[in-house]
């Protein structure tokens, strides 16, 4: 029987949705990707940001 546990290792969103989620600009997310602080996931022309990873970065900024 398959496991019904939800795997929350990754939650992906577009850059626009991730920026809304984090209450920041898209440019801020692109800077974080450019400096290596945030991983980008790309399939063809579709770019996604992992919201779990973004949460970790945001929690570190608050500490």
Domain ranges of the chain: 12-62
Please compute, for residue 22, the number of CA atoms within 13 A of its CA located in the half-sphere on the CB side. 28
The mean pLDDT of the chain is 87
Write out pLDDT tens, residues 34-50: 999 999 999 899 999 99
10/51 Cα distance (integer angstroms): 7
Q: Quote the CA–CA distance of 1 and 54 in Å, as a whole number.
A: 33
Q: DSSP character for 37?
A: S
DSSP 27: H
State residue 19's pLDDT score: 97
- Model-level pTM? 0.78
Q: How far is CA 54 from CA 11, 30, 31, in A?
A: 10, 12, 13
């Amino acid at each position: 029987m398959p496991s019904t546990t939800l795997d929350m290792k990754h939650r992906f969103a577009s850059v626009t949705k991730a920026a809304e989620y984090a209450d920041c600009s898209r440019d801020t997310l692109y800077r974080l990707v450019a400096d290596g602080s945030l991983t980008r996931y790309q399939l063809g022309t579709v770019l996604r940001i992992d919201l779990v990873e973004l949460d970790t970065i945001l929690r570190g900024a608050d500490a």
